[in-house]
Structure 1
Amino acid sequence: MNYRHSFHAGNSADVVKHSLLIALVRALQQKPGALTLIDTHAGCGLYDLDGEDAQRTGESMQGVLRAFVDPNPLLNDYRAAVQAVNVGAEPHVYPGSPRILAQLLRPQDFLILNEKHPDDAYTLRGVMRDTSAAVHERDAYELWLALLPTRTARGVVVVDPPYEQPDERARITATLAAAYRKWAHGVTVIWYPLKDRATHWRWKEQLRKLGIPKFLTVEHWLYDDDQPDIYNGAGLYIFNPPYAFTQALPPLLEALRAVLAPEGHKGEITADWLGN
């Protein structure tokens, strides 16, 4: 699956992913200790919703634009993060995870970004020049391990690959296992697309067998039944999520399901513990 983000910026997966990332970081920030935030596949940082790529798919119409007209206050933090890079009532620019994470930084926190694609890395450096973020241009999985344990006692690693390579899931599984041995208490968030339940179930079982105790999976299925060979939704694996985050999760997930359900479908969004 090719998930070049300029085509998909602001879609339903972004709304869920970024809403949950904001909630996760804010839950961790209830304690004053510093955080290190690491984004292994950072992308460009900002995306033009009026550009040719985004307009070709029109996916933002079923994602961020729906969220902007929904009155549910549980989505206020997400809307504010998008509004921060826009002028006017309707968003025309979409912030990727780097810009959203940068908005959340406190003075004591650190943000480390990585993007292997040279053109995207060049764009990312320009987009982030007004922030304190460090930008790297390395293999994501090598960097993930090299930066662990983080310089601060607590941290979050966000893994959001395009799933262009056939061995992507295998590399994630192997790197996660090695990362857990180095940094057992760290928080790791892995984004993944959902195309069919059988393929996804097999990968989920491989991850479950790693034996990481606090393993939460959040899955957002757009349609009531699988639609063959198309994007059916997306999910997040979250390892070691903080208690404050998991306690506040159910109403936020319901708000996201309601605003993002395609016409004629109820949709489904679930959170399940898979740790041993």
Structure 2
Amino acid sequence: MNYRHSFHAGNSADVVKHSLLIALVRALQHKPGALTLIDTHAGCGLYDLGGDDAQRTGEATQGVLRAFADANPLLDDYRAAVHAVNGGDEPRLYPGSPQFLAQLLRPQDALILNEKHPDDASTLRGAMRGTGAAIHERDAYELWLAMVPPRTPRGVVVVDPPYEQTDERARITATLAAAHRKWAHGVTVIWYPLKDSATHQRWKAQLRRLGIPKFLVVEHWLYDSEQPGIYNGAGLFIVNPPYAFMQALPPLLEASRAALAPEGHEGEILCGWLDD
């Protein structure tokens, strides 16, 4: 599966991912200690919703535009972060994860971004100018392992690949296992598309065999029944989610489900521990 983000910016997966990312970082910031935020597949940082790529799919209409049309105050933080990169009421630009993370930084926090594709890395540098982010142009999995544990007492690694390579899941699994051995208490967020449930169940079985405790699974299924061969939503694996985040999660997930349910479908967001 090729998930180049310029084609999918602001879709339903982004709404869930970025809403939860905001809640997760803010929960960690209940404590004053410094955080290092690491994004291994940072992309371009900012996306034009009126551009050819985004217009070709039109996915923002079922994602960020639905979130903006919804009145639930639990989505206010997400909407405010999107508003921050836009001048008007309706979003014309969509912030990638680096922009969301940069908006959350406190003076004591650090942001490390990585993008291997040279053109995207160049665009990223322009989009993140003035944020203080350190930007790398390296293999994502090599960087992930090299950057943990971070210099600060706590941190978050965000892994959001395009799933262009057939071995993407295998590399994530192997790198997560190695990173966890180095940094057992670190928080890791791994995004993935939901398209083939059989493939996904096999991957979860492989991850379960790693024996990592506190391994949360959040899955947002758009359609009420199996839709073979098409994109059916997305999920997040979250290792070591903080307690305050877990307390806030159920109502936030329900708000997201209600706002994003496709016409004629209720949608579903499942949340539980991998080893349950």
Name the counterpart of 2:165: 165
Name the counterpart of 2:183: 183
Equivalent positions of 1:145-164 (< 5 A) are: 145-164=145-164
1:98-137: CA deviations, max 9, x gaps? 0010000000000000000000000001111111100000
Q: Tell me, what secondary structure is at the counterpart of 2:264?
A: coil
Does residue 242 in structure 1 map to residue 265 in structure 2? no
**How much has 1:69 moved relative to structure 2?**
1.0
> 2 CA distance for matches of 1:78 and 1:209?
34
**How much has 1:227 moved relative to structure 2?**
1.2
Name the counterpart of 2:27: 27
> 2 CA distance for matches of 1:99 and 1:226?
34
What TM-score, normalized by structure 2, do the two folds share? 0.99
**How much has 1:270 moved relative to structure 2?**
1.2
> 1 CA distance for matches of 2:59 and 2:227?
17
Name the counterpart of 2:38: 38
1:114-162: CA deviations, max 9, x gaps? 0000000000011111111000000000000001111111000000000
Name the counterpart of 2:76: 76
Equivalent positions of 1:37-76 (< 5 A) are: 37-76=37-76
Paired residue type of 1:199: T
CA RMSD of aligned residues (A): 0.7
1:58-80: CA deviations, max 9, x gaps? 00000000000100000000000
Name stretches of at least 5 consecutive residues in structure 1 with no aligned partner: none
> 2 CA distance for matches of 1:125 and 1:270?
36
Aligned residues: 276
> 1 CA distance for matches of 2:227 and 2:241?
31
1:154-199: CA deviations, max 9, x gaps? 0000000000000000000000000000000000000000002111
Name the counterpart of 1:16: 16
> 1 CA distance for matches of 2:211 and 2:275?
7
1:8-51: CA deviations, max 9, x gaps? 00000000000000000000000000000000000000000000
Name stretches of at least 5 consecutive residues in structure 2 with no aligned partner: none
**How much has 1:206 moved relative to structure 2?**
0.6
Q: Tell me, what secondary structure is at the counterpart of 2:94?
A: strand
Paired residue type of 1:258: A
Paired residue type of 1:4: R
**How much has 1:275 moved relative to structure 2?**
3.9
**How much has 1:208 moved relative to structure 2?**
1.0
Name the counterpart of 1:141: 141
Name the counterpart of 1:213: 213
Identity rate of aligned residues, in percent? 83
Paired residue type of 1:93: L
1:191-239: CA deviations, max 9, x gaps? 0000021110110111111001100000000000121211000000000
> 2 CA distance for matches of 1:147 and 1:140?
11
Name the counterpart of 1:128: 128
Q: Tell me, what secondary structure is at the counterpart of 1:131?
A: coil
Paired residue type of 1:83: H
1:243-272: CA deviations, max 9, x gaps? 000111000000000010100001000111
Q: Tell me, what secondary structure is at the counterpart of 2:173?
A: helix
Name the counterpart of 2:105: 105
Q: Tell me, what secondary structure is at the counterpart of 1:30?
A: coil
> 2 CA distance for matches of 1:31 and 1:140?
29
> 1 CA distance for matches of 2:215 and 2:182?
17
